[in-house]
């Protein structure tokens, strides 16, 4: 079925520059700083550690240089860095309540006695990167000094001098007019420092996340990632609420993403208190479908082995990090509470996620790949969380997956016969794929881990 898509003449654009990807025949370009060609990965303080500044009574959990050093140590020593989790990111409440005599932001002297520059060196010495937080407006959300329009250049220069590698620019205490000026200005100011600094913009989250207030073409040109929607909380309700908003708006959001420019549904809360093991797998799977940045906000010092196994699952990370960077979509929302998500991947592969909103018992869902509009042929299937190769399927084979309540079954699917298709070439098409997606050249082959054998 859908042979007409395969026969569609290949539309070639030889003058494509390296930072552009053809998605649905629309050319979009990413912020030209060469960074974050796949969704950034690492650790971010906010959801778990918030604005805890009480180092006297809560020294292990307060926002201080020790917390970030601890997390850097864990990322470097516990196998995270090798999997791509390289950013150690500071959020709100790191700074002093006053700028210094020259008007520059400065770290709180009691909680960051070594200063941010020293912390950056500590992080860099371990092969990691340091992210920092600022807020376009009079104050940060936590009430610390904000970055008003006249301070943008100063703050960009300060961060670059300190050796910071990423900036999250929040939007509390500013209005739409200031945001429209400030977010592009900061992008220019970061570029002018000459230091590659990944740029996360909270702008859309403050303006409802949708056109016409938000222009995703413009965002992709000035930011590497952007928060579209509200903050995640440590609960399954929060994960569901975020996921539902992203999927309801997928026609707008999905084409906005690509190498160097990502929608950000917010942090991974896996390893905290709010999610069961099944719900944790579901967050990881759905974030991979969404090509979401993977910033864990948890305590890496005390993580359970179940949480660690999910967050370090090489197959789901490889899917999240697919070099094509094409975000996935929800295909089906069944009346029985089952939803099916799908994302196209390099090497003619794809991923399917079967998700259950049910609250009774594991549900046996039966379908065929043909019903999901896969084209004729045989497919190899790898179950991501089972860690097993499944029986080969033809597009017509009826199969049944058993999906736990608020859980997922996630598959990596790869066609067995793909002679005649040359997906890594410019204009290559994806045979297992029912929509007319084409991609530019300059893509790297997906680097599946050695245990990921199909
Ligand atoms: C600044 O922008 C130019 C042009 O878009 C780009 O070539 C350069 O790599 C950027 N530099 C940094 C540090 O982001
Ligand atoms: C936005 O804030 C600026 C600076 O505080 C102010 O001059 C301007 O009037 C505000 N605009 C709107 C639309 O509220
Ligand atoms: C959105 O931004 C792009 C790139 O900056 C621009 O070319 C386009 O005109 C904008 N669209 C709207 C509707 O403002
Ligand atoms: C399959 O394709 C048909 C025809 O384009 C469409 O109506 C249907 O919604 C698609 N099914 C899925 C699961 O995407």
Q: Is 373 in the pocket of ligand 4 (CB under 6 A)?
A: yes
117 with 90, same domain: the answer is yes
137 with 221, same domain: the answer is yes
pLDDT in tens, 268-287: 999 999 999 999 999 999 99
Q: Is 175 in the pocket of ligand 2 (CB under 6 A)?
A: yes
Q: Whose CA is nearest to atom 1 of ligand 4?
A: 373
Question: Cα of 223 to ligand 4 centre, how many Å?
Answer: 33
Q: Which residues are paired to 393 by β-bridges?
A: 379
Instruction: For residue 338, give the nearest of 319, 360, 354, 315 by alpha carbon.
Output: 354
Q: Whose CA is nearest to atom 12 of ligand 4?
A: 372
pLDDT in tens, 165-196: 999 999 999 999 999 999 999 999 999 999 99
275 with 370, same domain: the answer is no
Q: Which residues are paired to 388 by β-bridges?
A: 383
Given pLDDT bands bounded at 50, 70 and 90, which one contains residue 28?
low
Last residue of a domain, one of 260, 283, 312: 312
- Phi first, then psi: what are they for 298, rounded to 5°? -155, -175
pLDDT in tens, 382-431: 999 999 999 999 999 999 999 999 999 999 999 996 544 444 433 333 33
Domain limits at 270? 31-312
Question: Cα of 110 to ligand 3 centre, how many Å?
Answer: 45
Query: Exactly one of 170, 264, 266, 299 is catalytic; which is it?
Result: 170
Question: Cα of 251 to ligand 4 centre, how many Å?
Answer: 15
Q: Which CATH number covers residue 140?
A: 3.20.20.70
Atom of ligand 1 nearest to the CA of 33: 14
**Which bound ligand lies closest to the C-alpha atom of 191?**
1
Q: Which residues are paired to 304 by β-bridges?
A: none
- Report, as an integer, the average pLDDT of 324-335: 98
Q: Active site includes 170?
A: yes
Proportion of the chain above pLDDT 70, given as a percent: 85
**Which bound ligand lies closest to the C-alpha atom of 341?**
4
Element (H, E) at 22: strand 20-23
Q: Is 177 in the pocket of ligand 2 (CB under 6 A)?
A: yes
Q: Is 370 in the pocket of ligand 4 (CB under 6 A)?
A: no
- According to the model, what pLDDT value does residue 159 have? 99
Element (H, E) at 134: strand 129-135
pLDDT in tens, 273-322: 999 999 999 999 999 999 999 999 999 999 999 999 999 999 999 999 99
Query: Exactly one of 32, 52, 70, 231 is catalytic; which is it?
Result: 231
Question: Cα of 214 to ligand 3 centre, how many Å?
Answer: 10
Q: Say yes or no to pLDDT of 14 above 60.
A: no
Question: Cα of 351 to ligand 4 centre, how many Å?
Answer: 17
In a domain, 127, yes or no: yes
Given pLDDT bands bounded at 50, 70 and 90, which one contains residue 75?
very high
Q: Whose CA is nearest to atom 7 of ligand 1?
A: 32
Q: Active site includes 278?
A: no
Q: Is 331 in the pocket of ligand 4 (CB under 6 A)?
A: yes
138 with 169, same domain: the answer is yes
Which of 28, 218, 261 maximizes ligand 3 atoms within 8 Å of its Cβ, making it the mutation to test the pocket?
A: 218
Tokens of 265: 């549904």
Question: Cα of 177 to ligand 2 centre, how many Å?
Answer: 7
Last residue of a domain, one of 400, 415, 430: 415
In a domain, 428, yes or no: no
- According to the model, what pLDDT value does residue 27 have? 54
Q: Say yes or no to pLDDT of 454 above 70.
A: no
**Which bound ligand lies closest to the C-alpha atom of 199?**
1
Q: Are 65 and 119 in contact (CB under 8 A)?
A: yes
In a domain, 282, yes or no: yes
Q: Is 178 in the pocket of ligand 2 (CB under 6 A)?
A: yes
Kindly report the number of other CB atoms within 10 A of residue 54's CB atom.
12
129 with 272, same domain: the answer is yes
277 with 400, same domain: the answer is no
Question: Cα of 209 to ligand 1 centre, how many Å?
Answer: 27
Q: Say if strands 408-415 and 378-383 run parallel, antiparallel, or are unpaired.
A: antiparallel
**Which bound ligand lies closest to the C-alpha atom of 146?**
2
7 with 40, same domain: the answer is no
What is the Cα–Cα distance from 355 to 332, expressed in whole angstroms? 10
Ligand 1 proximal residues by C-beta, below 6 Å: 32-34, 191, 194-196
What is the Cα–Cα distance from 272 to 270, expressed in whole angstroms? 6
23 with 72, same domain: the answer is no
Q: Is 18 in the pocket of ligand 4 (CB under 6 A)?
A: no
Instruction: For residue 381, give the nearest of 344, 415, 418 by alpha carbon.
Output: 415
Question: Mean pLDDT across the chain, nearest whole number?
Answer: 89
Which of 250, 251, 372, 434 maximizes ligand 4 atoms within 8 Å of its Cβ, making it the mutation to test the pocket?
A: 434
Q: Say if strands 408-415 and 198-201 run parallel, antiparallel, or are unpaired.
A: unpaired
Q: CA torsion angle for 20, 22, 26, 31 (degrees, to 10)?
A: -20
Q: Whose CA is nearest to atom 6 of ligand 3?
A: 218
Q: Say yes or no to pLDDT of 338 above 60.
A: yes
In a domain, 438, yes or no: no
Q: Which CATH number covers residue 369?
A: 2.60.40.1180
- According to the model, what pLDDT value does residue 29 have? 75
More confident residue, 383 or 444: 383
Handedness of CA 371, 374, 377, 378 (dihedral sign): negative
In a domain, 427, yes or no: no
What is the Cα–Cα distance from 139 to 190, expressed in whole angstroms? 20
201 with 287, same domain: the answer is yes
Tokens of 426: 């410019």
89 with 156, same domain: the answer is yes
In a domain, 88, yes or no: yes
Given pLDDT bands bounded at 50, 70 and 90, which one contains residue 24?
very low
Q: Say yes or no to pLDDT of 123 above 80.
A: yes
In a domain, 429, yes or no: no
191 with 335, same domain: the answer is no
357 with 339, same domain: the answer is yes
Q: Are 373 and 2 in contact (CB under 8 A)?
A: yes
Handedness of CA 23, 26, 30, 32 (dihedral sign): positive
First to last CA, the chain: 25
- Report, as an integer, the average pLDDT of 187-209: 98
Query: Residues 6 or more apart from 385 whose CB is under 8 A from it?
Result: 281, 285, 310, 313, 316, 408, 409, 410
Atom of ligand 3 nearest to the CA of 211: 13
In a domain, 433, yes or no: no
Give how many domains the chain has, as a whole number.
Answer: 2
**Which bound ligand lies closest to the C-alpha atom of 29?**
3
């Amino acid at each position: 079925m859908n042979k007409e898509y395969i026969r569609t003449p290949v539309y070639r654009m030889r003058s494509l520059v390296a930072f552009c990807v053809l998605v649905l025949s629309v050319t979009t370009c990413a912020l030209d700083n060469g960074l974050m060609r796949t969704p950034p990965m690492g650790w971010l303080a906010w959801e778990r550690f918030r604005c805890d500044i009480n180092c006297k009574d809560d020294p292990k959990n307060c926002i201080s240089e020790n917390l970030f050093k601890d997390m850097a140590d864990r990322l470097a020593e516990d196998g995270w860095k090798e999997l791509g989790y390289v950013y150690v990111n500071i959020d709100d409440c790191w700074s002093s309540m006053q700028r210094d005599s020259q008007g520059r932001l400065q770290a709180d002297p009691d909680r960051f006695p070594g200063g941010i520059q020293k912390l950056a060196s500590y992080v860099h010495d371990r092969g990691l990167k340091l992210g920092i937080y600022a807020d376009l407006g009079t104050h940060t959300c936590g009430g610390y000094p904000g970055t008003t329009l006249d301070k943008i250049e100063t703050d960009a220069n300060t961060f670059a001098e300190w050796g910071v590698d990423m900036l999250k620019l929040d939007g509390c205490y500013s209005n739409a007019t200031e945001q429209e000026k400030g977010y592009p200005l900061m992008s220019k100011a970061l570029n002018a420092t000459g230091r590659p600094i990944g740029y996360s913009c909270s702008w859309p989250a403050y303006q409802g996340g949708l056109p016409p207030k938000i222009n995703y073409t413009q965002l992709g040109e000035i930011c590497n990632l952007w928060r579209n929607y509200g903050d995640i909380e440590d609960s399954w309700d929060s994960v569901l609420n975020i996921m539902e908003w992203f999927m309801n708006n997928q026609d707008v959001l999905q084409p906005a993403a690509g190498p160097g420019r990502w929608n950000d549904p917010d942090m991974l809360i896996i390893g905290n208190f709010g999610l069961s093991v099944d719900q944790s797998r579901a967050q990881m799977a759905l974030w991979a479908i969404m090509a979401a940045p993977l910033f864990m906000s948890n305590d890496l010092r005390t993580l359970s082995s179940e949480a660690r196994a999910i967050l370090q699952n090489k197959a789901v990370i490889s899917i999240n990090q697919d070099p094509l960077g094409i975000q996935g979509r929800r295909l089906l929302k069944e009346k029985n509470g089952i939803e099916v998500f799908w994302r196209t991947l390099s090497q003619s592969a794809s991923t399917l996620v079967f998700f259950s909103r049910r609250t009774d018992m594991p549900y046996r869902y039966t379908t065929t790949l043909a019903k999901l509009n896969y084209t004729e042929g045989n497919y190899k299937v790898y179950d991501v969380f089972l860690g097993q190769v499944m029986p080969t399927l033809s597009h017509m084979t009826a199969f049944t997956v058993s999906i736990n309540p608020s859980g997922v079954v996630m598959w990596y699917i790869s066609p067995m016969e793909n002679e005649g298709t040359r997906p890594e070439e410019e204009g290559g098409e994806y045979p297992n794929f029912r929509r007319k997606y084409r991609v530019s050249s300059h893509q790297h082959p997906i680097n599946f881990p050695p245990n990921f054998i199909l």
